[in-house]
Amino acid sequence: MNTQNTLTHKLLNEATRLDKLGIHLIRIGVAIIFIWIGALKFVPYEADSITPFVANSPVMSFFYAHPAEYKEHLTHEGQLDPAKRLWQTENHTYAFSDGLGTVEILIGLLVLYYAFSPRLGMVGSILAFLTPLVTLSFLVTTPEAWVANSGDANFGFPYLSGGGRLVLKDVLMLAGAIVMIADSARQLLQERSAPKPYQIHTV
């Protein structure tokens, strides 16, 4: 019994150190999401899929030329409709998506750069925190985030659609970003408190 308790104690003791590994995994995971999803923003199907979110956003809809008309031009993933794609081009859907993708990739790289610069790591962490705040607002502004009333009894709140479920994941992104900000702040404080190398002044 004592042997089992000792083994359990050792395992628990080792587990207490996992937070050091966990913060690195959080940063890598957040960076992968930003870089991968950001790269997909340059592909038409991904740009098409965010149309309802952008068109209904009070702070982003101005990027589109015709945000009120988006419902008539939606496509499914894998579907190629030249006429609808032409409309999306004229709507500036792809230009906006390219810009958004560039920003997301940059955030992902800044998050990873913490290993070389705590300051840039802090910038990336703050941006990674702010981005989910915008994304989660889509749950309020986007009708397509919820199951539509098409005959089934289960529609509207709390029944998230595929798009809504995709947005909800950003709750974890938000939590992870807070942990990253705390770790970046800790790194910056350690950098400030570290003894400076002795400098020899010559006359």
Residue 202 clears pLDDT 60, i.e. is over it: no
Range scoring the smallest mean pLDDT among 5-14, 129-138, 169-178, 183-192: 5-14
Q: Which of 125, 53, 137, 131 is nearest to 96 (CA)?
A: 53
Arithmetic mean of pLDDT over the chain:
91
pLDDT at position 195: 74
CA distance readout (Å), 182 to 46, 115, 128, 173: 32, 15, 13, 14
Range scoring the smallest mean pLDDT among 3-12, 44-53, 61-70, 104-113: 3-12
- Mean pLDDT for the stretch of residues 103-108: 97
pLDDT at position 68: 95
**pLDDT digits 0-9 by tens, 124-154:** 999 999 999 999 999 999 999 999 998 888 9
Above pLDDT 70, what percent of the chain?
Answer: 95
Confidence band for 199, pLDDT divided at 50, 70 and 90: low
Q: What does the buried/exposed string (b/e) look like for 37-60 if buried means 16 or more CB atoms within 10 Å of the residue's CB?
A: bbeebeeeebbbbbbbbbbbbeeb
DSSP H helical ranges for the chain: 2-15, 18-40, 44-49, 51-56, 82-90, 93-112, 118-136, 138-141, 162-168, 170-193
pLDDT at position 203: 45
CA 71 to chain centre: 25
**pLDDT digits 0-9 by tens, 59-104:** 999 999 999 999 999 998 889 999 999 999 999 999 999 999 999 9
- Mean pLDDT for the stretch of residues 107-114: 95
Length of the chain: 203
Range scoring the smallest mean pLDDT among 50-54, 88-92, 188-192: 188-192
Domain boundaries, the chain: 14-193
